[in-house]
Amino acid sequence: MNRNSSFTRKVIYATCIALLLYPLYYLGQPATRDSKGGRLAQIRAEQGIAQSQLGDIDPASETMRLATLGLRGVAVALLWEKANEFKMKKDWENLSNTVHQIIKLQPNFISVWEFQGHNLAYNVSVEFDDYRHRYEWVKRGTDFLVQGSQYNRDDPALLWYIGWIIGQKFGRADEHKQFRKMFPVDEDFHRSLKDNGDVAIDSPDARGPDGRPDNWLVARLWFDKGISAIRAGKSLRRKSPLVYYSTTYMQRINHAMMIEEEGTLDEKAQFAWQRAHEDWNRFGDMLVPSTWGHNIRLNDLTKLRAERDEIAERLEEFTAGARETIQAEKMARLTDEERTAMDVLPKDRTHPQELMVEGVRQKVFVSNREVAERADEKNRVRALELARRLTDLEQVYLVHTQRYRDQVNFDYWMLRCEIEQTKDAIEARKHLFDAERYLDDVNPDAARKSFELSWDRWAALIKKHPEMLNAETVANLSAPLRKYAEVMRQLDLKIPEDFPLLDVWELLRKSQGIPRSEIDPDSPANRSDAADPAAK
């Protein structure tokens, strides 16, 4: 090896390095204000995963990630281990700090934010005996998630979780009475949510009847922010759109229920239920992407039914009794065995007979298409179109819409919102609230009177809205009814014969398996037992 060949090699290497700079530049040039950058930067921008598009850029986070020299995974694994150890040993300061370090290394892992936010707000907070400390840690969990929303701008999952904690944790935890007293006056927390989360916490939309922020309404602002992000094209990831939207619009309902429980039983409660009704209607009008590949609007059920009836009528016009004819033909083709099975009462059928009957049902089923094919030639095309649309409505849209409505109990909440904003409902609840107060003051007489005033109002409501007589209403009235029964027992009184909520009472008794004798041996319901062998 001589100096010439060494020099030549160096020249070749330098040339190669210089040539490689071009593709490196083409691929790796960072984006700036004036240029889109190299190919990688452009792809990042197109996919929306550039660091600046994800959220705030934190130099500390970037520094820490660089400092791990590619061993970020190892560092993160160690930190998670430490976090678990600190949690086990109830070392909350170190846990908080370690979690802080973890998210510096994993700022764009949504599941990390969700997990640790939940950990702080739910798991750590309950370790404290003093409710004030629990409140502090629920706030910490919330602040943590709000910080996450800065790193991951407009991520619907994070926004949902923030709303969930503010709503559910402050509003339904064991300590919710105390939390709901602390939340409205916690100006520092409100300021933090406003400054870091950019929600209009001082707007009328967030204020409760006392003019201060209410946790349910503040939660609704966060959910709403999430919906705006979805509309702007952000992915929901694994969250269900139906659940996401329904949770959002349940917040006003939760708010209305909660303020009534706390004793606000006047026009403010009415107003709250009105707003809740508007929100629920708004939810019903939203287009919800379904798992079946089409969008569903929950409020469209009536419209779809009307359309179905109309199309069925028009099809009938084109086919004139074809359905019955086809069915008769199909019935005629049944075997004797099948006929016998059909004739047997359902409760007396054997299992093979059950299967046979199921088979017969499918055999004699007349599809819309079959009906349409019996139309005249000149109307057949049109009839077939109507049949296709009718089938879609019957088997797809109506079924799916009803299923989605059932999932979120849409009908019940709609009815509830309509009824609760009425004067009768407000009065009914007011009397119940008074009854509870009298019970706390150990005044059973006054409590009884208030209960009975309330039952009258409830009875009037049920008479106006018979559909109210359902399991949810029973569940709603279950506790006050049982308290009333207890009061009557204490006063050595019988439940009156003309008890206005007798139907509700019976439903409650049956649903909770309460024996008649436990309620009132002399109640009208009991006396009717003697004539009811089935009850025995």
Partner 1 sequence: MPIEYEILPFLDWLLPTVGERYGALLQFAASFAILATLGLLVWYLFAAIRLGPSEGFYAVAKVVFNAFSQDLPGFSLRRTFALARLAIQESVRKRVFVAFIVFVIVLLFANWFLDDNNPNPGRLYLGLVMTTSNYLLLVLTLFLSAFSLPTDIKNRTIYTIVTKPVRPSEIVLGRVIGFASVGTAMLALMCVTSYFFVLRGLNHTHEIAATEMAPTGEPGANSWKGRTSFDAHHRHEEVIIENGQGVTNLEMGHWHQVTVEGEGDQRRFVVGPHQGMLRARVPVYGKLGFLDRAGQPAAEGISVGDEWVYRSYIEGKTQSTAIWTFRGVVEPKFPNGLPMEINLGVFRTHKGNIEQTVLGELFIVNPNERAKFRRSEVIPFSSREFEPLEMFLKREINGVDARGKLVPVDLFRDLTDNGALEIHIRCAEPGQYFGMAQRDVFLKASDRTFMMNFLKGHISIWLQMLMVTSLGVMFSTFLTGPVAMLGTFASIVLGYFSNFVVKVFDGMFQGPDALKRFVRELFGIPEEAGVPGGGPLESFVRMLRQANQTSDLELGIAQRPAEYLDVGFMLVVRLFVQLLPDFKKFDNSAYVTYGIDVEPNLLAAQIVTALSFVLVTSLIGYFFLKTRELAA
Cα(428)–Cα(458) distance, integer angstroms: 6
Provide CB contacts within 8 A for 455, sequence distance 6+: 484, 499, 500, 501
Residue 371 CB, nearest approach to partner 1 (Å): 56
Question: Least Å distance between CB 80 and partner 1?
Answer: 16
Letters for 161-200 (x = contact with partner 1 by CB under 8 A, - = none) are: -------------xx--x---------x------------
Give yes or no for residue 80 binding partner 1 (CB under 8 A). Answer: no
Q: Does 150 bind partner 1 (CB under 8 A)?
A: no
Q: How far is CA 402 from CA 127, 259, 294, 393, in A?
A: 43, 31, 14, 12
* Residue 133 binds partner 1, judged by CB under 8 A: yes
Q: Which of 110, 131, 314, 482 binds partner 1 (CB under 8 A)?
A: 131
- The reply on whether position 79 binds partner 1 by CB under 8 A is no
CB of 52 to partner 1, least distance (A): 19
CA distance 41 to 20: 18
Instruction: Supply the minimum distance, in Å, between the C-beta of residue 490 and partner 1.
Output: 24
β-sheet bridge partners, residue 288 = 296
Q: Which of 60, 332, 530, 531 forms a contact with partner 1 (CB under 8 A)?
A: 60
Least Å distance, CB 534 to partner 1, is 41
Query: What is residue 532's three-state secondary structure?
Result: coil
Choice from 65, 82, 104, 225 touching partner 1 (CB under 8 A): 104
Interaction of residue 59 with partner 1, rule CB under 8 A: yes
Q: Which residues contact 375 (CB under 8 A, 6 or more apart)?
A: 318, 319, 322, 382, 383, 384
Reported as half-sphere exposure (CB side, CA atoms, 13 A), residue 62 has a value of 8
Cβ atoms of 512 and 478 within 8 Å: the answer is yes
Query: Smaller CB distance to partner 1: residue 146 or 322?
Result: 146
- The binder of partner 1 chosen from 29, 42, 68, 97 (CB under 8 A): 97
Interface with partner 1, residue 303, by CB under 8 A: no
29 touches partner 1 by CB under 8 A = no
Closest CB to partner 1 among residues 100, 282 = 100
Nearer to partner 1 (CB atom), residue 151 or residue 413: 151
By rule CB under 8 A, what count of residues binds partner 1? 28
* Eight-class DSSP state of 289: E
Closest to partner 1 by CB, 101 or 299: 101
Which member of 42, 51, 68, 101 binds partner 1 (CB under 8 A)?
A: 101
Segment interacting with partner 1 (CB under 8 A) among 23-31, 59-67, 465-473, 527-535 = 59-67
Q: Where are the beta strands (DSSP E) in 259-368?
A: 288-289, 295-296
Q: How far is the CB of 261 from partner 1 (least distance, A)?
A: 17
Phi first, then psi: give them for residue 345, nearest 5 degrees: -65, 145
Among 72, 100, 374, 483, binds partner 1 (CB under 8 A): 100
Q: Strands 295-296 and 288-289: what pairing?
A: antiparallel
For residue 48, is it left (φ>0), alpha (ψ between -120 and 50) or beta? Answer: left
How far is the C-alpha of 148 from the C-alpha of 160, rounded, in Å? 12
**Closest separation in Å from C-beta 435 to partner 1:** 23
Pick from 47, 46, 233: nearest CA to 156: 233
The answer to whether the beta carbons of residues 45 and 31 sit under 8 Å apart is yes
Instruction: Name the minimum Å distance from CB 134 to partner 1.
Output: 9
Binding segment for partner 1 (CB under 8 A), chosen from 88-96, 106-114, 442-450, 471-479, is: 88-96
DSSP readout, 216-240?
A: HHHHHHHHHHHHHHHHTT---TTS-
- With CB under 8 A as the contact rule, the residue among 90, 237, 361, 369 that binds partner 1 is 90
Asked if 64 touches partner 1 (CB under 8 A), the answer is yes
Q: What is residue 296's DSSP assignment? A: E
From the list 42, 51, 68, 96, which residue makes contact with partner 1 (rule: CB under 8 A)? 96
Stretch that binds partner 1, among 92-100, 162-170, 312-320, 520-528 (CB under 8 A): 92-100
Q: Which stretch binds partner 1 (CB under 8 A): 90-98, 197-205, 227-235, 465-473?
A: 90-98
- Asked whether position 440 contacts partner 1 by CB under 8 A, the answer is no
Q: Which residues of 3-31 are buried (b: 16+ CB within 10 A; e: fewer)?
A: eeeeeeeeeeeeeeeeeeeeeeeeeebeb
List 207's β-bridge partners, or say none: 213
Which of 130/532 has CB closer to partner 1? Answer: 130
User: Three-state DSSP class for 90?
Assistant: coil
Residues contributing to the site for partner 1 (CB under 8 A): 59-60, 63-64, 88-90, 92-94, 96-97, 100-101, 104, 127-131, 133, 136, 140, 143, 174-175, 178, 188
